[in-house]
Amino acid sequence: PLDYIPEELLARSLADSEMRSAPYEFPEDSPIEQLEEKRHRLERQISQDIRLEPEILLRAKQDFLKIDSTADLENLKDQDEVTVDYAPKELLVEREFQRVSISGEEKCGVPFTDLVDAAECVVRALFIREKYMSESLQGFCSTTARLLQDLSDRPLHCSPQGAEPETPVAADAPVHPPVSQTHPYEGQDPKNLPSDVGYTLCSALNKPEYRKLDLPYPNLQDYIADMNVMMALIINGPVKSFCYRRLQYLSSKFQMHILLNEMKELAAQKKVPHRDFYNIRKVDTHIHASSCMNQKHLLRFIKRAMKKYPEEIVHMEGGRGQTLMDVFENMNLTAYDLSVDTLDMHADRNTFHRFDKFNSKYNPIGESILREIFIKTDNHIHGKYFGHIVKVSRGTLLILSLSLFSVCFPHISDVYRSKRQLGNFQQMLENIFLPLFEVTVNPQSHPDLHLFLQHVVGFDSVDDESKPEHHVFNLDSPLPENWTEEDNPPYSYYLYYTYANMTVLNHLRRRRGFHTFVLRPHCGEAGPIHHLVSGFMLSANISHGLLLRKAPVLQYLYYLAQVGIAMSPLSNNSLFLSYHRNPLPEYLSRGLMVSLSTDDPLQFHFTKEPLMEEYSIAAQVWKLSSCDMCELSRNSVLMSGFSHKTKRYWLGPDYSREGPEGNDIRRSNVPDIRVAFRHETLCEELQLITHAVQTQGLESIQEDAPLTMNPLPSAR
């Protein structure tokens, strides 16, 4: 009998090779393919055995074609009726999937006493973040707030209160929001702007007779105390072990989910008409305006400017105006001489861990004067060329730092001090925030700034985080008006005073009926871990977050609070971390709110669509599925600063609801299975820690004493 085994195996393999689809796929989702396989199988059988029973087999073929094909074609007809653009959502919903359940006592793998201690620390940290988000009118994850509510003696803050009026969007509305037919500034006469309300901006030290407005901001002592609590928490041994085990569990659970449900997710995506990765909405959540173009784009613009505006005065040197032609003649260059290699603005292997060399790449041809003329706003032509460059850099939805949506200021107080341009750190804060307070109090004082702020969503801060810090921010640190040292203030110092001023500004703008801002700093790209602690406490989103891979407690907290992280793997690959070591796929598998961004296309990208370049490289290197890439795209829209109404068009009218009820696969192309898995996993993790705290017999987590609003001398 053993002699016949090879022949039988060969016959089976030949039979399997004739199948048009792999045995592990879902042929029932393709009735035409199923019908073709049945026909092919029957015809093969007929050709082999027709000599034995021709009449019976011929009748069987006729019966098969008569009965089976009719049923299959009816199923095909029904499916065709479903695949109409914007079909009813109920017909596309697929939420039944295979789940992995863990049961039994001590199911988290640690002793119950360790679980309770770790849970109390984690809950305390989440309450600290919620406090600062609520105080500054920034958003907090609604799922986390709902599950923590039983442990709090006050209503927890979820999203900015009254941030936008409710705007109904029909379920069958197109993905594209209605295009405005008018210029955004049309009819914005300065005389029609909101009038002054009689507020006076002054220093509390100089004008004590004025009555202060009761606008909340963080007390410095409370902030330092909360920082110390967070720092102690992230180095606590049992808490680190607990968080590390939970993160490993989240990774393993996602791998099990993929093994069990990957084909169902793919089948759900295939059912959606006219929607795929290419035409879903993707937002570049972290990109600098001064480098939002690629090298070829900048080169073409420089050449075109030299041909069209050679006699335009673009620079003042020694009191004498210089034309564009004069500038290039002084460099012994013509438009024909310029090339991408001549510009020399692309990062290479020499910029790895050399942020100083990377900064020099911002100068075309190594000349700072060309940077001032073409990619700066503070110049003789008032940023005319820069505006044209940004205007034609279209094709991707961007959140531009420094230009359109996010105001970014660098940590260069030490540079200004060395050049005698600043007397202390307080002057730098005044230069940034005083005009914003003035235009909020009286929009007619700076009408252009008031109109510009309607398109600004937040504040960013950037610096080389790898530079050593010689000062620890504590209660003994000098106040901003007393900071006259040559050294730069530490990261947490910058972030606290930015947050404090932004908090007061947000409450003032809320009183005036204007929109508020959020904080989205560069954080965790390099440097010490405490940068990520400050970011967790004070920021709505962060950019980079690479160091979370070394801090399991913070990574678990960022997951539970669903803090947005805009990651730029190609940027990191040239500066701080090789591509294969980037933690983005690990963060994504564990459920952190991550998105892909470009950072600086001028330095890191080659194509006209740098964001698609990021997605394509990530998909190839990390073998991301279509569902993974669509999930990253959906995260980018959720993290972005676009309006609530715009997000309703892009993600669905109910996008702000929790779980699969807030997902519309017809717009996001993310299967409800994936969204349901993420939501259920997050709820299970939150229930694990809250149940442990409640089981211990604590009726509520007593928070610190109420925030005091005593004004600091440095705050405005």
CA dist., res. 688 & res. 682, Å (int):
10
Is residue 484 a contact partner of residue 424, using CB atoms and an 8 Å limit?
Answer: yes
CA dist., res. 129 & res. 180, Å (int):
38
Partner residues linked to 288 by β-bridges = 401
Partner residues linked to 284 by β-bridges = 398
Q: Which two tokens stand for residue 51?
A: 């000599």
597: CB partners within 8 A, 6+ apart? 284, 285, 286, 287, 543, 566, 567, 568, 611, 614, 636
Q: Which two tokens stand for residue 616?
A: 């394509």
CA dist., res. 459 & res. 455, Å (int):
12
Angle (deg, nearest 10), helices 626-639 and 644-651: 160
C-alpha to C-alpha distances, 346 to 291, 319, 361, 415, 436, nearest whole angstrom: 11, 34, 7, 25, 35
Catalytic one among 446, 507, 544, 605? 544
CA dist., res. 310 & res. 288, Å (int):
28
Is residue 716 a contact partner of residue 433, using CB atoms and an 8 Å limit?
Answer: yes
DSSP 566: E
> How crowded is residue 556: how many other Cβ atoms within 10 Å of its Cβ?
27
What DSSP letter does each residue of 164-231 carry, written as one string?
S------TT--SSPPPPSS-TTTT--GGGSPPP-S-----TTT-TTSPPP------HHHHHHHHHHHH
- For 439, the 3-state DSSP assignment is helix
CA dist., res. 617 & res. 291, Å (int):
20
DSSP 599: B
Computed on alpha carbons and rounded to an integer, the radius of gyration of the chain in Å comes to: 30
Is residue 529 a contact partner of residue 234, using CB atoms and an 8 Å limit?
Answer: yes
Q: Known catalytic residue: 530?
A: no
Q: Which two tokens stand for residue 590?
A: 């564990």
Burial of 187 (0-12, 13-18, 19+ CB in 10 A): exposed
CA end-to-end distance (rounded Å), the chain: 93
Q: What single-letter amino acid sits at 500?
A: A
The length of the chain, given as a count of residues: 716
Query: Would you please indicate which residues are annotated as catalytic (active-site) residues?
Result: 544
